[in-house]
């Protein structure tokens, strides 16, 4: 659906050159929600803006829906861009226009007739839950409502792809949840491919199917969200995962204690609700206490994480870890 090949972006300011993207390759599949996460300055905005060529790559190719955008110019490029909607952190609404006119804006650009504009705007307002606000101005709306206008406007011309540039970063946690839920609903209803950039791992966990971690203009790790969460490889990924799995207190407890007898156990899918842990450890003759635990969801997949301390004469954490792994659990000796 989206293919990036050898994407490089070099910024030149005076005599200084800065490589914001470095021969980056990426494949995004039709209908998925793909998250790109990275620290400030890693290249996220540059990357997402290169997908619709708001930013022109210095080298490399961008394909969207089988069309090479990097080979197009002028009107042809503009026409292809209409298949790509985009929403922004600060919404970018026209402050002097009503909600209706903001949503209608891209339709008017392509000279849609009046009746069709009205029909489509009302349909979009219903989709994003703004039917009652069409005659208001942006200044009369909350942040979440503003982003709903942004989403409706981005969808006006039936795009194949929606790009989200830190779309929830300016919102409080509750509003963030409702906007993420809306994106998930739209993805399912319209089978729309969504690419989002964020610096928050919660956003990735809540709605993404796959994730790529970007650092210094390169993708350093990518895969299914569940795999990246349960087995983060790169140090940057580990940092992000710890945003949502904070074991700080347990780690400081462990430092003064029996480090070798602490296990971090991750469950996913059905095993989350089964007594695998209890049964396995009971069979070893050991006992354990739970130091920290949570059950949560990654999109629709239930997953849980527990940190336990083993007790007993032969508190052989390594052997117990092996037994648990054989039962299909992810286990790490802390």
Ligand X SMILES: Nc1ncnc2c1ncn2[C@@H]1O[C@H](COP(=O)(O)OP(=O)(O)OP(=O)(O)O)[C@@H](O)[C@H]1O
Helix (H, G, I), strand (E, B) or coil at 44: helix
Q: Per-residue string for binding with ligand X, 193-222, x by CB under 6 A?
A: ------x-----------------------
Our CB check for ligand X shows the closer of 87 and 263 to be: 87
**DSSP labels for 64-85?**
ETTEEGGG--HHHHHHHHTTEE
**Binding ligand X by CB under 6 A: which of 2, 33, 42, 317?**
42
Between CA 182 and CA 252 the distance in angstroms is 39
Contact status: 13 vs ligand X (CB under 6 A): yes
Indicate the residue among 44 and 264 with the shorter CB distance to ligand X: 44
Residue 38, interface with ligand X (CB under 6 A)?
A: yes
> How many alpha carbons lie under 13 Å from residue 292 in its C-beta half-sphere?
18
By the rule CB under 6 A, 46 interacts with ligand X? yes
Q: The tokens of 87 are what?
A: 């929403």
Long-range contacts of 131-136 (CB under 8 A, 24+ apart): 133/99, 134/98, 134/99, 134/100, 135/98, 135/99, 135/100, 136/98, 136/99
Gap between the Cα atoms of 332 and 325, Å rounded: 10
Judged by CB under 6 A, the residue of 23, 29, 41, 295 near ligand X is: 41
> Using CB under 6 A, which of the segments 36-44, 111-119, 129-137, 188-196 binds ligand X?
36-44
Q: How many residues bind ligand X (CB under 6 A)?
A: 13
Nearest approach, Cβ of residue 65 and ligand X (Å): 24
The span of 39-47, 65-73, 179-187, 246-254 binding ligand X (CB under 6 A) equals 39-47
- Pick between residue 40 and residue 96 the one whose CB is nearest to ligand X: 40
Q: Looking up tokens 């300016």, which residue turns up?
A: 170
Residue 94 CA to residue 92 CA, distance in Å, equals 7
Q: What is the binding site for ligand X (CB under 6 A)?
A: 11, 13, 18, 20, 38, 40-46, 199
């Amino acid at each position: 659906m989206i293919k990036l090949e050898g994407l490089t972006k070099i910024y030149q300011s005076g005599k200084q050159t800065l490589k914001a993207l470095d021969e980056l390759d990426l494949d995004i599949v039709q209908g998925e929600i793909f998250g790109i996460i990275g620290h400030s300055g890693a290249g996220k905005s540059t990357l997402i803006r290169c997908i619709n060529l708001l930013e022109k790559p210095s080298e490399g190719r961008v394909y969207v829906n089988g069309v090479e955008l990097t080979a197009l110019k002028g009107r042809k490029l503009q026409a292809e861009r209409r298949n790509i909607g985009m929403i922004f952190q600060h919404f970018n609404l026209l402050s002097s226009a009503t909600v209706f006119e903001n949503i209608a804006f891209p339709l008017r650009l392509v000279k849609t007739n009046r009746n069709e504009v009205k029909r489509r705007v009302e349909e979009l307002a219903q989709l994003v839950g703004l039917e009652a606000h069409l005659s208001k101005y942006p200044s009369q709306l909350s942040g979440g409502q503003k982003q709903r206008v942004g989403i409706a406007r981005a969808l006006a011309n039936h795009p194949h792809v929606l790009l989200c540039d830190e779309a929830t970063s300016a919102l409080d946690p509750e509003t963030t949840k409702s906007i993420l839920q809306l994106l998930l609903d739209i993805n399912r209803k319209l089978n729309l491919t969504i690419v989002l950039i964020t610096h928050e791992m919660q956003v990735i966990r809540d709605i993404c199917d796959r994730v790529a971690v970007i650092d210094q203009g390169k993708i350093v790790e990518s895969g299914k969200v569940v795999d990246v969460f349960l087995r983060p490889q790169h140090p940057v990924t580990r940092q992000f995962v710890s945003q949502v799995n904070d074991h700080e207190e347990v780690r400081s407890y462990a430092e003064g204690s029996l480090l070798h007898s602490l296990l971090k156990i991750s469950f996913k899918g059905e095993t989350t609700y089964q007594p695998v842990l209890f049964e396995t450890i009971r069979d070893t003759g050991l006992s354990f206490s739970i130091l920290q635990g949570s059950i949560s969801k990654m999109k629709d997949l239930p997953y849980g994480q527990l940190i336990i301390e083993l007790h007993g004469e032969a508190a052989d954490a390594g052997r117990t870890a092996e037994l648990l792994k054989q039962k299909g659990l992810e286990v790490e000796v802390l």
